[in-house]
Every structure is written in structure tokens, then in C-alpha cells.
Amino acid sequence: MPSQERHKIRLAGIGAPERKQPFGKQAKDYLIGLVAGKDVEVYWSKRDRYGRIVGKIIFEGQDIDLAMVQAGYAWWYRKYAGEQNAGDRVLYEAAEAKAKTEHLGLWADPHPVPPWDWRKKK
């Protein structure tokens, strides 16, 4: 029987806006809509400095981390691209470029601030 445990997951390969940042609530709501109350698979190999599992969430074959980027609710986190396989790097980069071109989600803002830069300013 699959585990029914709850875990805090840091989505691998992406950076979503912080809660108080523009598009933070929308990004959270979008993610909740994708996974809340659902049985998901998490592929992971490390924990971050806060003890969270860093992983890729899969629901019914869909890469949820990638879906966040495709919808414009997360940046592809290039700093950690080396931790992704080559296929994922290509997919995530293309998804970000497409979301940006189509002004989806956070890309509706002409100058969106990545969460890693936003945190430095706080």
C-alpha cells in the first residue's frame, strides 16, 4: 500500500514566487489545483538546508514542476540545471521561453523578479 505521509517538498528545478511576492498567491493556488488531495509520486535524491525533500512531483504521468513553468507560475532555476537530466533541462528551458513569449502568469509583469533575487532584497 502506498504511503499516505505528508511531506514538505521543494520542487526541483524551479523557483516559484514567494507568498508575498507578486503572483505568489496565484502560483500557490495553481499548484494546489494540480496536486491537493491527490496521490502523487515524488522523485528525489536530496534534501535542502531546511530538511525539505527536493524532488520532481508526478501526477498521472504529468511533471508538476514543469507544469508550473509552462503556466508561467515559476522560473526554470538555471542555477540547479546541472542536477536535472538533459531532457528535463531542454523541456524546462523551452517551457519558460514559451510562457515568457506568451506573457503567461508572472510573465504578464514586464519586469518579474525571480524569488532568489526578491529574497536578497528583503
For this structure, is 52 an active site residue? yes
Q: Which of 10, 78, 83, 93 is catalytic?
A: 10
Q: Which of 18, 78, 83, 93 is catalytic?
A: 18
CA atoms within 13 A on the CB side of 103: 4
Sequence-ordered alpha helix ranges (H) in the chain: 24-35, 64-70, 86-101, 115-121
Q: Which of 19, 41, 52, 83 is catalytic?
A: 52
For this structure, is 10 an active site residue? yes
For this structure, is 18 an active site residue? yes
Question: Is residue 55 classed as helix, strand or coil in its secondary structure?
Answer: strand
Active-site residue list:
10, 18, 52
